[in-house]
Amino acid sequence: MKIYNFKLIVLISVLFVAFTSCGKQKKTETIVKEEVLPEDIVEMRDDQIKLAGIETGAVELRSLSGTLKVSGIVTAPPQNTAMVSMPMGGFVKSTSLIPGSLVAKGQTLAVIENSDFIDIQQNYLEAKSKLEYTEADYNRQSELYKNDVASKKNMQQITSEYKNLKVQVKALEQKLTMIGIHPARLTENNISRFARLVSPISGYIKTANVSIGKSVSASDILFEIVNTQKLLLQLSLFEKDADKVSTGQKIRFFINNETEEHVAQVYQTAKSVDADKTYKVYASYQGSCRNVLPGMYVNGEIEASGNKVTAVPSEAIVSFEDKDYIFVFGRDKKEDGKPFTEYRMIEVQEGVSDDGFTEVVLPPNCDINTVKVVIKGAYNLLSAKKNAGEMAC
């Protein structure tokens, strides 16, 4: 009986040890170390590289004379734009203009009523009358003074009064001119409480902030006038493209996605970069078209100058999440005795394109003399990055 108990104990011990060892082995077999690659790294085997048709090459220095994509707005130069207001304010008596109306320089835009106009005309006529009398007295006293008949004190007094009246009359003339009243035509018989607001330039009414009986102040803009005969394009470029544009270059532009092509010529470039890192270019519109109006948004192309820039084949550049990238050779390595190659994804800024090559601005730490760029099969590498496990290892 003791022998059987001993055998049973040994059998149970052997089974326990076997069961424990098997559990450890299974547990050990389930632990597999997986390599975690950085987000900018794609790893491929040699057979996958051949299947994807991946080839590498060098970054080249090329003279590209392609086109620069630009956007901006149609605007008018300052001398062809006018904001019209009434210097002394008043009440709008009459007007017949609406936005879009064509006006000529000197044409009446509105009639303004103000009792202060009467006071200015009265003061002017009175000062002018006094000046005529004082001028005659001044001339008479001058003759007497020359003949030692008048005293020096009287001469000084009449001279001072005469000069003061001349200044007063000139000042009142300027005030009358500001409100649209011609001093030379003003007499005691045509004093009026009304003044004409006239257009300083020829063009079209862009805005009209008036209505009959409206009270307006000197700071109120009543009319905005734009001359559309000489329009400009205000275009924005990235600062990296500033040296590719110069005076005299032609611009082809389109408005509102129309197929009709318009032409402009660069006449001035900005001398500084804006806070948003854009560079302004101004071009004069060549020709006339009713569809081209101030404030319109435009898309255009500028023929870029042929300076030498860092460039790669256009197919080497891929777009991912609204950014541009290239792939470069990282390193060769082995895993479990199998050869692998790592490719690194680098963000670049894309420039002009010409003859199958595109300008790229590389990161500062990228040496163009040693870097190997994927010039073929870049989109296959991008697919490997997007579809984890399909092409990437």
| Each residue's pLDDT tens digit, 179-213 | 989 999 999 999 999 999 999 999 999 999 999 99
Q: Are 86 and 216 in contact (CB under 8 A)?
A: yes
> Amino acid letter at 148?
D
pLDDT at position 31 is 45
> Amino acid letter at 90?
G
192, 317, 325 from 133: Cα distances, Å: 25, 88, 87
In the structure, what pLDDT confidence band is assigned to residue 305 with cuts at 50, 70 and 90? low
87, 109, 115, 138, 167 from 170: Cα distances, Å: 18, 27, 21, 18, 5
**CATH 2.40.30.170 boundaries in the chain:** 230-302
**Residue 26 pLDDT more than 70?**
no
Per residue in 132-147, pLDDT (tens digit) is 999 998 888 888 888 8
**Domain at 230-302, CATH homologous superfamily:** Efflux pump adaptor protein, beta barrel domain (2.40.30.170)
pLDDT at position 120 is 94
pLDDT at position 81 is 92
Higher pLDDT, 262 or 393: 262
Tell me the pLDDT of the chain averaged across its residues.
83
Nearest to 284 by CA among 272, 299, 304, 269: 269
pLDDT at position 6 is 46
**CATH 2.40.50.100 boundaries in the chain:** 80-226
- What letter does residue 244 receive in the DSSP assignment? G
pLDDT at position 389 is 44
pLDDT at position 187 is 92
pLDDT at position 288 is 67
**Residue 11 pLDDT more than 70?**
no
Q: For domain 41-66+308-386, which architecture applies?
A: Beta Barrel (2.40)
Please give the average per-residue pLDDT across 368-388, as a whole number: 85
Please give the average per-residue pLDDT across 162-185, as a whole number: 93
CATH number of the 80-226 domain: 2.40.50.100
DSSP-derived secondary structure for 38-98? -TTEEEEEHHHHHHHT-EEE--EEEE---EEEEEEEEE--GGGEEEE--TT-EEEEEE---
d(CA 214, CA 222): 11
Per residue in 238-275, pLDDT (tens digit) is 887 777 788 888 888 888 777 788 888 898 888 888 88
Nearest to 110 by CA among 222, 245, 190: 222
pLDDT at position 392 is 40
d(CA 139, CA 247): 61
pTM of the model: 0.56
d(CA 256, CA 298): 7
**CATH 2.40.420.20 boundaries in the chain:** 41-66+308-386
Per residue in 32-73, pLDDT (tens digit) is 445 566 778 888 888 888 888 899 998 888 877 667 788 899
pLDDT at position 204 is 92
Q: Are 354 and 64 in contact (CB under 8 A)?
A: yes
For helices 115-146 and 152-178, the axis angle rounded to 10 degrees is: 150
Per residue in 319-366, pLDDT (tens digit) is 888 889 999 998 888 877 788 888 999 999 888 777 788 888 888 888
pLDDT at position 66 is 66
The percent of residues above 70 in pLDDT, for the chain, comes to 86
How many CB atoms are located within 10 Å of the residue 254 CB? 14
**Residue 30 pLDDT more than 50?**
no
Higher pLDDT, 260 or 108: 108
**Residue 87 pLDDT more than 70?**
yes
In the structure, what pLDDT confidence band is assigned to residue 150 with cuts at 50, 70 and 90? confident
In the structure, what pLDDT confidence band is assigned to residue 20 with cuts at 50, 70 and 90? low
